């Protein structure tokens, strides 16, 4: 599956930088600059760093180089509330540790940063690898996975056209249809999560041997983000205002973004 969080994040930011404008005539009128934090901490993989950027006005062509925050930053991670790991700028606004860090399921990670006068903070917990009980093709249109839930975890599923013999992903879902959470802590029976509809060209018998589903487990903060990510879309009616705010898990002075833990499941054959 493509980096869903990255693609969603970019699309939201494109709309976010103009979200508070009442009129489309002068998109720079009410522009407010935000610090943007983006990091996906994947269980079992090396820490890929925290990306720090600033938003740019809607009427200005986005320039990733000038948007990157490359100086005047003090940043570090705190692991399980104890271990302090300083971060340094590695290029293009990405902040990494000096040594390799393997992200561990069940661990907690906190991000602290001072950028000029701005103090920024975020917290995430790394989920366990999702356990898929079964996967099936339903309603002749989408895949449905049955997942054994864990506490403090939410789940999304993606269809995959996958050749297991050569470990090759031919195509994959661009997004999640839904994010599901088990709300009954006294009943930990399997829960179901659906993918987006499988494109028509893949629904034929020629592709059935390549039908797989992959489940992603996220820290619970991802649920609020997913449900509100389409808020604050630009409006064309000059008498209207955008919707409610996107709920991020980054806090601080004019700061937005996601610093989120995720565990990727195995490719599971759809029956």
Q: What is the pLDDT along the chain (271 residues), one digit of tens a residue?
A: 656 555 555 555 544 544 444 444 445 556 788 999 999 999 999 999 999 999 988 777 778 888 999 999 999 999 999 999 999 999 999 999 999 999 999 999 999 999 999 999 999 999 999 999 999 999 989 999 999 999 999 999 999 999 999 999 999 999 999 999 998 878 889 999 999 999 999 999 899 999 999 999 999 999 999 999 987 555 444 333 445 689 999 999 899 999 999 999 999 999 9
Residues 210 and 120 placed together within one structural domain of the fold: no
Residues 84 and 206 placed together within one structural domain of the fold: no
Residues 25 and 121 placed together within one structural domain of the fold: yes
Residues 153 and 100 placed together within one structural domain of the fold: no
pLDDT attached to residue 61: 78
The rounded distance, in Å, linking the Cα atoms of 38 and 259 is 6
> What CATH number does the domain containing 156 carry?
2.60.40
| Number of folded domains that form the chain | 2
Residue 247 Cα distances to 7, 35, 181, angstroms: 17, 15, 17
Residues 21 and 121 placed together within one structural domain of the fold: yes
Residues 10 and 110 placed together within one structural domain of the fold: yes
The rounded distance, in Å, linking the Cα atoms of 10 and 13 is 5
Residues 118 and 229 placed together within one structural domain of the fold: yes
Most distant CA pair in the chain: distance in Å?
60
pLDDT attached to residue 9: 55
Domain that residue 208 falls in: 131-219+265-269
User: Please, are residues 144 and 196 in contact by the beta-carbon 8 Å criterion?
Assistant: no
The number of residues making up the chain comes to 271
Dihedral angle over CA of 171, 207, 198, 223, nearest 10: -60
Residues 95 and 189 placed together within one structural domain of the fold: no
Residues 112 and 68 placed together within one structural domain of the fold: yes
Q: Which of 186, 198, 172, 182 is nearest to 264 (CA)?
A: 172
Residues 185 and 253 placed together within one structural domain of the fold: no
Residues 22 and 106 placed together within one structural domain of the fold: yes
User: Please, are residues 216 and 156 in contact by the beta-carbon 8 Å criterion?
Assistant: yes
Q: What is the pTM of this model?
A: 0.87
Q: Where are the alpha helices (DSSP H) in 19-123?
A: 64-67
What's the angle, vertex CA 168, arms to CA 155 and CA 49, rounded to 5? 55
Residues 43 and 123 placed together within one structural domain of the fold: yes
């Amino acid at each position: 599956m493509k980096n869903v969080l990255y693609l969603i994040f970019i699309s939201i930011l494109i709309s976010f930088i103009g979200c508070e404008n009442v009129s489309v005539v002068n998109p720079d009128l009410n522009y407010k600059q935000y610090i943007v934090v983006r990091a996906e901490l994947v269980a079992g993989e090396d820490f890929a760093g925290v990306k720090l950027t600033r938003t740019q006005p809607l009427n200005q062509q986005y320039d990733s180089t000038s948007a990157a925050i490359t100086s005047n930053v003090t940043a570090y991670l705190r692991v399980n509330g104890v271990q302090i790991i300083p971060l340094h700028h590695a290029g293009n606004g990405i902040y990494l540790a000096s040594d390799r860090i393997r992200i561990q399921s069940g661990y907690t990670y906190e991000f602290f940063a001072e950028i000029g006068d701005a103090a920024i903070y975020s917290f995430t917990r790394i989920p366990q690898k999702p356990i898929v009980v079964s996967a099936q093709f339903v309603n002749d249109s989408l895949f449905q996975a049955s997942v054994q839930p864990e506490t403090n975890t939410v789940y999304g599923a993606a269809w995959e056209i996958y050749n297991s013999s050569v470990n090759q992903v031919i195509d994959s879902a661009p997004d999640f249809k839904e994010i599901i959470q088990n709300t009954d802590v006294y009943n930990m029976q399997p829960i179901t999560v659906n993918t987006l509809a499988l494109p028509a060209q893949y629904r034929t018998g020629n592709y059935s041997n390549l039908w797989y589903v992959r489940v992603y487990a996220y820290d619970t903060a991802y649920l609020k983000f997913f449900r509100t990510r389409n808020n604050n879309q630009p409006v064309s009616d000059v008498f209207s205002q955008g919707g409610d705010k996107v709920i991020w898990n980054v806090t601080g002075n004019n700061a937005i973004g996601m610093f989120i833990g995720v565990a990727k499941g195995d490719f599971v054959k759809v029956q």
